[in-house]
Structure 1
Amino acid sequence: MVDNTATKNQLPHHQVFDIDVIPHSGSKCYDDDGRLKRTGTVWTASAHIITAVIGSGVLSLAWATAQLGWVAGPTVMFLFSFVTYYTSTLLSACYRTGDPVNGKRNYTYMHAVRSNLGVSKVKICGLVQYLNLFGVAIGYTIASSISMMAIKRSNCFHSSDDKDPCHVNSNPYMIAFGIIQIIFSQIPDFDQLWWLSIVAAVMSFTYSTIGLALGIAKVAENGKISGSMTGISIGAVTQTQKIWRSFQALGDIAFAYSYSLILIEIQDTVKSPPAESKTMKKATLVSVGVTTLFYMLCGCMGYAAFGDTSPGNLLTGFGFYNPFWLLDIANAAIVIHLVGAYQVYCQPLFAFIEKEAANRYPDSDFITKDIKIPIPGYGHYKLNRFRLVWRSIFVVATTVISMLLPFFNDVVGLLGALGFWPLTVYFPVEMYIAQKKIPKWSTRWLCLQILSVACLIITIAAAAGSIAGVVIDLKSYKPFATSY
């Protein structure tokens, strides 16, 4: 939708604009760009990537594997991991423009696009990135409300001994999540709160590990491995649904692997020598390897446990009922994680719009003037009226759209599709070609373009499958009224 996009859930985004830094030549405390010495290593970079990638995307992997089967499911996951690893190595080579050791640093993904491809491509990249962030905000609102509903329903099932159908309406939970986000969105520089990274990382590992453990326990309880070589059988779904669901599964898997947007920012924490690109290649290999192993286990164990009936969201589809308290912990972890992740994802979009508005209307008090509100024990809170209005409108818009389209799998698949090709494949490939000055129509150029076109076809198929899923779901859904 960045869980997967700051690290996807943890690291702060930086502005797209260059920051002037006064060089401290000859000092052992500063790097060649005048900033404090970076201290990151292969292991710290790997940790950042792993905690960034393993997020809410892991919840739909069992369903995705069920659509593709025991052969295609793990194969597709492996192929996505390979493409992600390879394009990440191309992207890491673009951290410095020109010389890989002493060239000008690019602090963010957008910096790298501007340095290598020019201003026009930056605008296209920015549009794709910010649309993706808007979509992620919608996806997170849906996911959090589903988890809150799951807590309510699991306790209802437990107290009624599974006799009550426990229908719950999702709208109050989405509204509650929206209200929380309106409040949090008014905190200036929210992305600088270091504890957010720790909380988000702990929460994402908590619910991912619980999902994996429950899958293993369910397989042990059943005493057999469910599923088939070709995935969900015709009869359980129609031939047409089988095709669309298979396409949508590609988008779900793509979403789980998405972290390209924050790779450059993670690389900007790495020390030199050796060259940052060498360190990042090793870190990418380690982190993508660990993530793929984890994803294979989660997706395959979920499918092994439930077969054709694998739920769209492993922890809320009520494949698991007990222990209900453990499910409650997992779903509470999802909600806490997504509350913070929503803000980390949206901060760069908030900051971009506010900076553009201030540049365009520098004399407007409504946009540029802060009102100081005294807070006992804190000092003064600087209330900006434009920030209050614009950010509130943004949160309300994402909440209303979530209430209209509360389909977790479809939205995740669409987000994965929209972000995968342009941000994970196209821009890294084009930047690498420009950086290395690869001749047009050379063998290497052709191979890179074939990779890009192949991934574009996959993206189109995944988007089509997800849109078809939304259309099918809308036929039986009544906006603002349906309960689950």
Structure 2
Amino acid sequence: MDVEGFPVSQMAQNYGNQANAPPLPSIAQANDEENDHENTARHGTLWTATAHVITAVIGSGVLSLAWAVAQLGWIAGPSVLFAFGGITYYTSILLADCYRSPDPVTGKRNPTYMDAVKASLGPRDVKACGILQYLSLFGTCVGYTITTAHSLVAIERAGCYHSQGHHVACRASLSYYMLGFGAVQIGLSQIPDFDQISWLSTVAAIMSISYSSIGLGLGIAKAYENGPRGSLSGIPVGEGPGELSLGLRLASAASALGNMAFAYSFSTILTTIQDTLKTPPAENKVMKKATLIGISVTTLFYMSVGCAGYAAFGNNAPGDLLTDFGFYEPFQLVDVANMCLVIHLVGAYQVFAQPLFAFMESYVSRRRPHNYFINKNFELVFPRGITSQWNLFRLTWRTLYVVVTTFLAMLIPFFNAITGLLGAIGFWPLTIYFPIEMYKRQAAIKPGSGRWYLLNVLSGLCLVVSIAAAGASVYGIYQNSLTYAPFS
């Protein structure tokens, strides 16, 4: 999911607040006292919300869009990408009306996505929503480990190609870089409130915009130099060179849908953005305008990157625009883009891991309040009077978490397949199903009415897309694993 650019500290804090609630049948505990929320300073405007939406959406998922467009061709590729933007916008404006309940203008605030789910749908749906969100966070950490390692390998190989020529193999090990990334994350995970460092959001936004813009510029330059490539229908079906069998063709198209869905998987943060808005005017009206502008800008940017990459490489568009060596030169610029991505994801990993850390530590502490290993804190004193609180359970649990995500990344380091799977898992339930169901409940949409049928058809179609994308991504992981030696 690409929510790294939004005030990530606030996002993780809101996720983390859910972790302080009772254990899993009520992961998300809404605060019953409205005054607690009313006292929060809210100074957001249409333009700050729009900026948050744009930086929330644009992230590492943009790098797979050229490949995704190549699987569908010049007609279906941009059309489907545009359709994802339109559907995401529609469900986002439904979600905007659920920030307050039961009335979208005067009702009680729901400052987080799971608060809104609880207010509209009840505890069972909150449990499912919580499980899906935490599963998505865990999967994203695995995906970021894979993506970072690919970028570091690309930097090493770019220097090799530049000095020795493009015909040289220039091999490098993903596993070593994943181990290094994991070691860094083990250290960062022990820093108290790392996810709430104020400048982390600014760095994330600058880095994501930088590498995305470099990818776009390189794609346009290459397309201009060699002339636009590609075909109307994408990769042809057949048995010849550059062709795929019908089964593989359908699987690649479905996996492309998952990659596009991953690029738009940000709905869970919209309620948090809306909670920053000042009133009047009503928050839902401002948020709808901000979402329209933000998703329009993002979709235009996505289509530009995807189409420029496809025009540059045609049906051979790389799975990752920056790491699969469609671009050899200028190698310094490619290195800068990959380093921006690495810097971005080093911090973003912690942003997505911290809510899981907080939830597990809060849950275990409540279950074993007198356990020495779990609850005893040790104070370490450093030079100049600096002190730090350490906890044996926190040290063990967080280290184990990083070890597991690193192990899984080393086991299945397949960028497009993992990206497609993450998109498929999160898109339908979190971007489509819950917003639609919340809106139906709050707006009192009558079963059997025309709008009720239309909303259900939209949800059903998106469910089919998610299932197809998930199946294709799992198949892609299986196919890649046949020729990959883990931990090599």
TM-score (norm. length: structure 2) = 0.94
Residue segments in structure 1 that go unaligned for 5+ positions in a row: 24-31
Q: Of 55, 58, 63, which residue of structure 1 is paired with 2:67?
A: 63
Q: Secondary structure at the match of 2:11?
A: coil
Q: For 2:11, give the aligned amino acid.
A: P
The answer to whether structure 1 residue 464 and structure 2 residue 464 are counterparts is no
Q: Give the structure 2 partner of residue 230 of structure 1.
A: 233
The Cα shift of 1:96 comes to 0.8
Query: CA 1:20 to 1:122, structure 2 compared with 1: closer, same or farther past 3 Å?
Result: closer
Change (3 A) 1:258 1:127: same
Confirm whether residue 428 of structure 1 aligns to residue 435 of structure 2.
Answer: yes
Residue in 2 that maps onto 1:53: 57
Q: Which residue of 2 aligns with 1:26?
A: none
2-structure distance, mates of 1:354, 1:343: 16
The 2-side partners of 1:171 and 1:241 are apart by 28
Task: Report the Cα distance in structure 1 between the residues aligned to 2:121 and 2:330, rounded to whole angstroms.
Answer: 53
| Contact map agreement 2:91 2:435 (CA 8 A) in 1 | yes
Distance 1:51 1:414 in 2: 23
Query: How far apart are 1:101 and its partner, in Å?
Result: 2.4
Would the aligned equivalents of 1:4 and 1:257 in 2 still touch at CA under 8 Å? no
Structure 2 partner of 1:131: 135
Whether 2:362 is the aligned partner of 1:359: answer no
Of 83, 99, 114, 1:110 maps to 114
**Offset of 1:151 from its aligned partner?**
0.2
On the 8 A contact 1:6/1:262 being kept in 2, the answer is no
Aligned residue in 2 for 1:307 = 314
Q: Which runs of 4+ in 1 moved over 4 A?
A: 8-11, 19-23
Would the alpha carbon gap of residues 434 and 22 (structure 1) be closer, same or farther in structure 2, given more than 3 Å must change? closer
Q: What's the CA shift string for 1:233-255, capped at 9, x where partnerless?
A: 23322222111000000000000
1:199 match: 203
Shift of 1:6: 8.7
Q: Which residue of 1 aligns with 2:413?
A: 406
Q: Percent identity?
A: 54
| CA 408–22 in structure 1, closer or farther in 2 if over 3 Å, else same | closer
The residue aligned with 1:89 is: 93
User: Which secondary structure does the structure 1 equivalent of 2:370 belong to?
Assistant: coil
Residue 10 of structure 1 and its aligned partner are, at CA, apart by 6.2
Contact 2:267 2:431 in 1 (8 A): yes
The CA distance in 2 between the partners of 1:132 and 1:441, in whole Å, is 33
In structure 2, do the counterparts of structure 1 residues 22 and 364 end up closer, same or farther at CA, with 3 Å as the change threshold?
Answer: farther
Change (3 A) 1:7 1:346: farther
Output the CA distance in 2 between the equivalents of 1:84 and 1:347: 27
The one-letter code sitting in structure 2 at the alignment partner of 1:420 is F
Distance 1:421 1:8, change over 3 A: farther
SS in 2 for 1:12: helix
Counterpart amino acid of 1:134?
F
Task: Tell me the residue number matched to 2:461.
Answer: 454
Partner of 1:479: 486
Contact 2:49 2:273 in 1 (8 A): yes
Residue deviations 1:140-172 (CA, integer Å, cap 9, x gap): 000000000000000011111334210111100
Does the alignment pair 1:165 with 2:164? no
Using the TM superposition, give the Cα deviation of residue 11 of structure 1 relative to its aligned residue in structure 2, in angstroms: 4.2
**Partner of residue 278 from structure 2, selected from 265, 271, 277:** 271
Taking the aligned partners of 1:233 and 1:209, their CA distance within structure 2 comes to 30
TM-aligned CA distance change 1:4 to 1:38, over 3 Å: closer
Q: Which stretch has the larger CA shift, 244-253 or 382-391?
A: 382-391
Corresponding position of 2:257: 250
Deviation by residue 1:63-104 (Cα, 9 ceiling, x = unmatched): 000000000000000110011000001111111111222211
**Deviation per CA, 1:218-270, whole angstroms, max 9, x where unpaired?**
01110x21000000123322222111000000000000011111111111101
- The within-5 A match list for 1:279-298 is 279-298=286-305
**Equivalent position of 1:28 in the other structure:** none
Distance in 2 of aligned mates of 1:361 and 1:269: 36
User: What is the deviation of 1:459?
Assistant: 0.4
What is the alpha-carbon distance in structure 1 between the residues aligned to residue 391 and residue 452 of structure 2?
49
**Residue 329 of structure 1 aligns with which residue?**
336
Q: State the one-letter code of the partner of 1:228.
A: S
Check 1:163–1:68 CA distance in 2 against 1; reply closer, same or farther (3 A cut).
Answer: closer
TM-score normalised by L of structure 1 = 0.95
Provide the aligned length of Structure 1 versus Structure 2.
471
1:258 is paired with a residue whose SS is coil
Q: Check 1:407–1:88 CA distance in 2 against 1; reply closer, same or farther (3 A cut).
A: same
Distance 2:392 2:113 in 1: 30
- The residue that corresponds to 2:48 in the other structure is 44
- Given the alignment, which residue of 381, 386, 394 partners 1:379? 386
Counterpart of 1:49 in structure 2: which amino acid?
Answer: V
2:449 aligned residue = 442
Backbone CA RMSD of aligned residues: 1.6
Structure 1 residues 286, 262: closer, same or farther in 2, change over 3 A? Answer: same
Which AA in structure 1 matches 2:454? C
Moved more, 200-209 or 160-169: 160-169
CA displacement at 1:34 relative to structure 2: 3.6
Alignment of 1:391 with 2:398, yes or no, is yes
The answer for the alignment partner of 1:176 in structure 2 is 180
- My pick for the range that moved more, 385-394 or 370-379, is 370-379
Whole-angstrom CA distance in 2 between matches of 1:43 and 1:273: 15
The residue type paired with residue 218 of structure 2 is L
